[in-house]
Structures are given as structure tokens and as C-alpha cells.
Structure 1
Amino acid sequence: MSSPAEECHRILVVDDNPSIQQDFQRILCRSEESREELDEMESLLFGAPTRVRSDGPLFELDFASGGEEGVRRVREAIRSGRPYALAFVDIRMPPGMDGVETTLRMWREAVDLQVVLCSAYSDYSWDELARRLETNERLLILRKPFDSIEVRQMAHALCEKWELLRASHQRMEDLELVVEERTRALAEANARLLHAQKLEALGRMSAGLAHEVNNPLSYVMSNLRHVLDGLVSLPCSEEAMERRDELSDACRDALLGAERIARIVQDVRVFARVDEPPRDRVELRRVVEYSLSMVGESLRSGIHLVRDFQDVPAVLGSDHALGQVFLNLLVNAVHALKGRPQPSLRVGISRREDGRIAVEVQDNGCGIPQENLSRLFEPFFTTKPVGTGTGLGLSICHGIVTRLGGDIVVESTPQQGTTFRVVLPAAPEEALAHPPDA
């Protein structure tokens, strides 16, 4: 049952007779004597023990003298967040719309509103009312002159029914939200699974393709070098020397193209690996310093380098694999700083509150457009000009880090800079090293 604080429901009386309005006021808003009578009726009707009620009114009553005013009051009550639970509506209210039409329009505003149609005449049969109103679940008929106890019983029972309907609707809304959330989670999980399956299939195809390309490519490169060496050392007349130099340049260009293909094949083979990288205890500071030394020449071109290294525990991983990750991030940062005024690069190592270790590579370069951020780790996606990137570097980094149980994220603002953050779990005190892959 409702708590005492909830029992002061709002009731609307729609009747053009002031004396009838006064009767409802007397019946439903009398003080202690009426409340004691209602307690006794509730005990008889619902089997509940008589309770001590507050000194407030049984119900909060509002009155309307016609159907239009009644509909307007229902609408205003909904907007104010204090809807009516019950409406007593007179069937005959000339010259405006009658009680049946009033009820229909009030239900369009408040679908749970309980209605008692009051009439001293047989204007409509029950079947006619049910047919016109298309329901009988929220409707009762009260014949005039009505009995005070009958009115109180109706008011109390229908307000309790209204409360139950509202609670039921709220539970349904909560369930719908839960179902919607579960459905969305399942859809996201299915999309991730589908993406993983596509990547696995792409990896297997790439591995086979790289193997098939690598063998004939090695022959092409070997023969190009042989032809180039032969052309350079080939004695020829002065007239043929220009032609020889032209052919030598063509061979060098072809060899550069073949070497680029070889690098792409190597990246594809790394990307296609599905086995776990070796896991040893790795001191991140040493690996990061080595990666910085690899790009040392580029850093001497006016880039201000900030080392922000904290003492952190070792992580489980591979020196070679993590070095590849940090070198790739550093090279990308250097490229982003080209042509920037006062270029600056910060490399940080810190321990997070959750115990994991974070390595950050932060630059104040050109930044990355928002529409590209979600695609950075996709295979073969690149923002570099054609011929300067394969689009596999960040994808390979992502694969290495995630296979080590870590995360790699990016934050960027165009024309302000970019931060890549690699987060790895700290190694346990006694970490067993796995033998390196063959």
C-alpha cells in the first residue's frame, strides 16, 4: 500500500453544479472523522491494519465547471509534474462538450488517469460507453444521488490503482532501458568480434601474399644490383657514356622502388603475425632511450626535447617489439613537427594510479583532424603523402601493445599537437621469460 506521504493524491472534479462541487469537497476533504472512517473501510476492503494518518487532507481537490476547463487543468497538471490520479466527471454539462467527450480528451493528455462518470440519467448504456471510450479498465459509473462512503471507496481504490499503474509503467521503462543497453552492448561486442575476424583473415591473407611476393622480389633486387654494377664498370665510348648513365639511373630508381616494396612486405609480415611476442622483464627507460638515439639526427634539427622520466617498475614484454613501438611514435612526432615554429617533443614515463606504466610521446606539431582519430590504428590507413607511408606502422604498434595486455590511445588537436600514450601492466616480481620466437 502507499505510504502516508503518498496518499494525498490529486483529484479533479468536472461538474457545472457548484453544490455538487461542494459535496465532493465535504466528502473527500473532511478531517479526522472522515480519515478514521476511511481507515476502517480500507481495513475491511484490503485487510490492512488501521494506521495512524497525518493531519493533512485525504485528497487534494481541484474543480472545473466545464469539459474544456477540465482538459486544460489535466494538461497543466502534467506539465507541472503533479498529475491527477482521478477525475469525477459529470456526463451532462451544457452547453459545452459532455462528459464522454471530456473523458476522451483528458485521456489523450494523461493515459493513466482514472475516471468516474457521474449522472442521474441513463444517457448511455455501459456497452455504449465502452464502445465510445474504447476501454473500461479506467472507467467507473456513479449514479446520482451518490453515497458518501461509495465515493470515498472509489476515490481511495482508484488512486491506489493509479499508483500501481504508474509503478508498472516505470518498471517497464526501466526494463526497456536495460534491454536497450544490453542490445547495444551485444551489438558492439558482435562488431568487435566481426572486426577481429576480418583482421585475422586479412592477416592470414597478408602473410601468404608477403611470402609469395618476397621470393621473386629478392631475385629482382639481386638482378638489378648486378645490372647496375655491370653498367657502372662497363667501358664504353664517349658517345655511349650518356646512354649508360641514363640506364644506370633507371636501374637505381627501379632498385629504390624494389627496396620500398621489400619494406612494405616486411611490414605486412610483422602485421600478419598472430603469435604472442616474447615476454621478458623490460626496463622501459632503457628501451625509450635507445629509441631516442635512433632518431637522434632528426632531433638535432632544432627540436626541443624534454625527458620526463620517473622511476617505474619493469614491464613484461620484448625489448625489440617495444622499441619498434616507441621508434614508430617518435618518427611520427618528428614528421609532425616539420616546419612548425619552436618545435617541442616531450617523452614521459610515469606510473599511473592503477599501477600500470605509461609512456607518453607528446609533440606540439600539426595535429590530427578529428575525423581521422578513430581510424589511426586501422591497417593501411595513413595521413602521410602517397609514397611516404604504408599505413601499417600504428596498426603494428597497436597489435604489439594489445598482445602485451596494454593499451595505446591518442589525443590530438589540429595545429596544437598530439599525444600518444602507451599503457602497460607492471611485471610481477618474478616474471618468467618466454623463449624468443623462431
Structure 2
Amino acid sequence: MSPPTGECRRILVVDDNSAIHQDFRKILARSGQGVEELDAMESMLFGDAPPRSSSTRFELDFALGGEEGVRLVRDAVREGRPYAVAFVDIRMPPGMDGVEATLHMWREEADLQVVLCSAHSDYSWDELSRKLGTSERLLILRKPFDSIEVRQMAHSLCEKWELLRASHQRMEDLERMVEERTRALAEANARLVHAQKLEALGRMSAGLAHEVNNPLSYILSNLRHVVKGLEKLPCAEEGLRARDELRDACRDAVTGAERIERIVQDVRIFARMDEPPKEVVDVRHVMELTISMAARALRPELRLVREFQEVPRVWGSEHGLGQVFLNLIVNATHALAGREEPMIRLGIQRREDGMVEVQVQDNGSGIRAEHLSRLFEPFFTTKPVGTGTGLGLSICHGIVTRLGGDIAVESTPGQGTTFRVLLPTASEQAPESAMLERRRSGS
């Protein structure tokens, strides 16, 4: 990316000798017979084509010390008119020398091309490399310097500086394009997720309508039968027999109504899955409480194995985790129906990645491979019609993921199933109330 014809490229000369300033002005400023003679010499050395200097002018600034040079570089950057090249003398007593000034100038303008000028061997190349690093932005010019050499350095380094700035601009453009594409992809992904949620909501609504319709149909049928029966009550003896029939019909209606109530409760829980966690939780304590609550579902012949390790607390919801563990344990008991030696193993351990893992394992009937990927979908169930709403595992998945964890399942038909609940440990940045609770409990 070459500059337009007549464009000024800014050059800074830092030298404590004002006579050197005049020398650079004579060499780089485009006026006078001496410059024409230099152009002619360049043409002889580099060919008959017009030299690049014919279309480029330099704007020169001068500083008598390193501190002043650094200030000029800083001001130029703030004004949006940075220098392309700086010719810097190494010896500039009593202030900072050229090497130190170069370090400070590079901090202000990283692309600045620097030519260190010296008539003495103040620094060896190894010393300069240690102080300034091996940089492609640095050249060495020995005094007394050749005028053509200075001009060619100025042209070449300005061109290099322009190319660097063009490459930076290109990188910024590419980064902006990547950010725009990333944002577009994120928006598209958000729309996809929203569409998937709407699809899941549609499936949930269809499942809910189906689940509610079945018990509601026989509730209405039985209640209508009760009404008709009550209207036709005959004599006393026949009335007693009719009363028994009506009582059975009412019991069926109550059973159906209770099922509707359970469905409604599950849907309400499903709708409240976005509630934030509230407390620091002792997972082992929650599991023990859950075992007590599930006691009626644990048949006497069932062998319950506890494998609880010492684990840190997790930041979550005791009620929510209790609901997850209870659902998994009850599901395990259902899978054990008909097994001769039913067994449930409950395990709690800390993984190498720091997560706390809770396992609920059974040796029951297992789950078919084609069903595993759908277990956490709303209203999907492998239980017989009328025995489950299909919301239990979906609710469990929502609770666990909202706590920052995950839930997975492994199963082999005929051998059993293992659910793994992964939970993050309580963060030191937990809310103050949770931290106070941890101190009170002595953990």
C-alpha cells in the first residue's frame, strides 16, 4: 500500500547536536540544488527510472534529547499523526541515551522504525540485542553517514511502516468480519434454540393434552353414571346395590382426579425450573433424607448399597437435589420389578476434575438403546400408559443443569442402569449468606 503522490511521511531526528539536525534537513528536505544532485546520483546507482523520492516528501521534526523525542512520539500518536521513522543518536548526555529512548518510543508507537546513529562503539550488537531484543524495526547507522544511504533508509523504512499499518488495518478488518460473523451465528443459534424450545413446548402441550384427556374422560364418564344412577334409585334393597356401584364409580373418579393433580404438579415444577439456587448443600445429607423419604418404595427384599465418600459441598438447592435423587431412586425401584435379587447402589464421590458425582445404579431391566437419547425429553416415558407423566427426568435434567451440573445415563438391557449426576463444588465467591451458613456449620 504505497502512499498517494505528494504524501508527507513523518520522520523524527533525535540528536543533541543541532548541526546534525541541519544535515538531515539538507538530505531529506526536498529543496535546493544539492537535492537535485543527490537525485542524479541515485539515478546513476539504481537505474534510469525516476527514484521513489520524486513522489514522496518527508515532514521532519527534531528533538535535542531522548526525553523530548519520547514526548514528541507520544504527542504524535495522540494527534493521530504518528512518525514512521526515527533517526536516534546513541550518545545524548546527560539525559537518557538513544537505546533507552528507543525503548520508550516503542512503548508509545510499536511500529516505529528506528535507526540508531553513532560514531562510537558504545554498544556491541549483542548488548543492543539484550536491551532492545532482536527487532526487525531496528537498523544501525555509523557516523559520518552517507547522504544517499540516509535517503534510501528513509524511503525503505517509510514504505515498510506503511505496509505494516496496512497489514494491521487488514487484520482489524478481518477481526471485525469475524466478530460480525460470530454475532450472526450466535443470533442464528439463538433463533434455533428458540425454535427448538417452541417445538418442545408444542410436544409438551400435545402430551399434556393427551395425558389430561385420558383420566378426564373416565372421570366424566363415571360422574355421569353417578348422576344417572342417583336419578334412578329404586326400592331399598336395589338401592343398596346401586349405592355400592356408585361408590366404586366415585372411587374411579377420585383416582382419575388424583392423576390429573399429579400431572398438574409436574407441569408446574417443569415451569419453575429457572429458579436460581439458594444455598450451600451437603450432598450426603440430602441423599440420606431422600432415602428416608423413599422408604415405602424400597421393598424389604431390595438390597441398598451406600458408597459415600467425603466430598465438598455444592452450591445449589437442597429441595431441588432431593427431588432429583428421589425421582432417580423411585425409577430404579420400578426397573427392579420381577428381579430375584434386586439391588440399588448409591454412590457419592469427588472426580479428578473437581466435580462431585452422585450415582444411582440398579440391576433392573435396563433401557433400550433407542430410548436413551430421549429420556430427558418432556413427556417421553418408557413406562406403561397411565403409570407416568414423562416429566420426571426432564425436571431432573432442568434442575441439575440450572445448578451448573450435568446428568447422564448408561444402560444395558437386562443388566441395569446407572444415572450420574455431576455437580460443581461450592465456589468461594458464593453469596454472603451461603458463606455465613458454611461458617456456622463448621465446614
| Superposition TM-score, scaled by structure 1 size | 0.48
Normalising to structure 2: TM-score of the pair?
Answer: 0.48
